[in-house]
Structure 1
Amino acid sequence: MDIQLYLPLIGIPIIVLGFAFRFNPLMVVTLAGLVTGLAVGLDFGTLLETFGEKFLNSRQLSSSILILPIIGLLEHYGLRERAQEWVSGIRSATTGRILMLYFVVRELTAMLGLLSLGGQAQTVRPLLVPMAEGVAQNAYGDLPPELRDRIAAHAAACDNIALFFGEDVFIAFGAVLLMTTFLKENGVGQIEPLTVGLWGLPTAIAALLIHLVRLSRLDAKIATEVQAWRLAQQAIVKASA
């Protein structure tokens, strides 16, 4: 067995172990890339040059890094608090309704190719999560930490699911173009990007309906959890009295 053939795969167990022990994902992937490069005979200077070249060629990565300090600055000056105050003044708003509205808008804009209008860093964390939490706090007062985490998880899931299924309908999406190119190279020449996008539409609609049903039950779950938490707190107070 020639061990040299398996050296390029050394980064795989590093990624698996790093994720299993919940280390920083960026550090794990970077370490795996460095170890793999050194294992196949690249010198350290060439590795740094390769990392720098790929970084500069990745517009999406560069734009994300530029967005993060801007979002941090806005949060420092009260973006989350202003979002909570604004949504708390809307009487008909509930946590489930806000998330449903965001899901619909996010999926529709993704279908049109407007992928950068939302996102975890620029929309979910600084705006959507505070708004969803603010409505619940306005209705029930203080929330248990577990419930706050669950609301944040629902908000993040709305963005991920809506984007994942919505972008498959956009005919200029990279995955759609990759599928059509692959099919044409293998003799299936009648498939066009529009056809792939149309076939992705039923799945996107199904994902929308399923998630809206889940979110429609969220408000009732929040009320139940808050009530159970308050009863538990009262029991603790009575036991300690």
Structure 2
Amino acid sequence: MPDWFVLVGVLVIVVGFLLKLDVIAVVIAAALVTMLAAGESFLAFLDLLGKAFVDNRSVSLFLLTLPMIALSERYGLKEQAVTLISKLHALTPGRFLTIYTVIRQLTGIFGIRISGMVQFVRPIVHPMSSAAAKSRGADSESEAELVKAESALSENIGNFFGQNGFVAASGVLLIVATLKEAGYDVTPELIAAASLPMIVIAAIVAAVHFWNIDRRLTKHAAVAQDSEVAGDE
């Protein structure tokens, strides 16, 4: 059997994706076909699959959160978040996202992993910011997409800058190792302390940006309301 025949696994992936089959099943099938084409046994495939599962069990534990999030959404997590925001009349989308960005930075500084796009932004942050926008008349499709993007932005800013304030963060340890190899005498504490000014600056820039988003949404809502009044007349 020619050596290039092991590439049949790539063909399995392409066909599986074109047919829109289950991604995990397609990848596992491709791996199995590749190993069989390479002359390995089915037991060797199971051994490799089990070893990969054990070596990456932290990733597997993360996958367990997905059905938990789905169940939370199914039984009203989004609705409760929207109800909470509707009671806070002074809270605009920009103010809410600014508060979340600061909270996200603080949790990053203390090494507390409470959030993420899947676990926190999609089921909680985005519905709450969207409810705040709709309460002010910003309910068009383009405005909804804008709020969705800004919700993701607040997570990215808070996580990216906040995590460098934690001495045991992987990014901080990577910076320390790189600088030491270059001949600089640094410690994780020094890197975390040097990151604090950037964390504050990032929070200020984010607050200004979200304030501009509030102005933009308010302007669009006012224009839409004027257009409706003109149409009624």
Q: TM-score range by the shorter chain?
A: 0.7 to 0.9
Q: 4+ residue runs of structure 1 moved beyond 6 angstroms?
A: 232-235
Say whether 1:216 aligns with 2:211.
yes
SS at structure 2 position matched to 1:217? helix
Deviation at 1:126, TM superposition (A): 0.9
Specify which of 200, 204, 208 is matched with residue 205 of structure 1: 200
> Cα distance 1:192–1:223, how it changes in 2: closer, same or farther (>3 A)?
same
Which one has a bigger Cα radius of gyration?
2
Q: Which residue of 2 aligns with 1:67?
A: 65
AA at the equivalent of 2:170: G
Percent identity between the two aligned chains: 28
1:1-241 counterparts in 2 under 5 A?
49-50=47-48, 52-115=50-113, 117-140=114-137, 143-184=139-180, 186=181, 188=183, 190-229=185-224
Separation in 1, partners of 2:81, 2:72: 11
Deviation at 1:160, TM superposition (A): 1.3
Deviation at 1:182, TM superposition (A): 3.6
**How does the TM-score come out when normalised to structure 1?**
0.73
SS at structure 2 position matched to 1:110? helix
Deviation at 1:205, TM superposition (A): 1.9
Deviation at 1:137, TM superposition (A): 1.7
Deviation at 1:181, TM superposition (A): 2.7
Deviation at 1:153, TM superposition (A): 0.9
AA at the equivalent of 2:159: L
Q: Which residue of 1 aligns with 2:7?
A: none
Separation in 1, partners of 2:72, 2:132: 21
Separation in 1, partners of 2:44, 2:140: 51
**How does the TM-score come out when normalised to structure 2?**
0.75
Q: CA RMSD in A?
A: 3.7
Q: Which residue of 2 aligns with 1:8?
A: none
**Unaligned stretches of 5+ residues in structure 2:** 4-9
**How many aligned residue pairs are there?**
216
Deviation at 1:131, TM superposition (A): 0.9
AA at the equivalent of 1:131: M
Whether the aligned pair in 1 keeps the contact of 2:53 and 2:60 (CA below 8 Å) is: yes
Q: Deviations over 1:211-238 (max 9, x none)?
A: 1110111111112223344566788x78
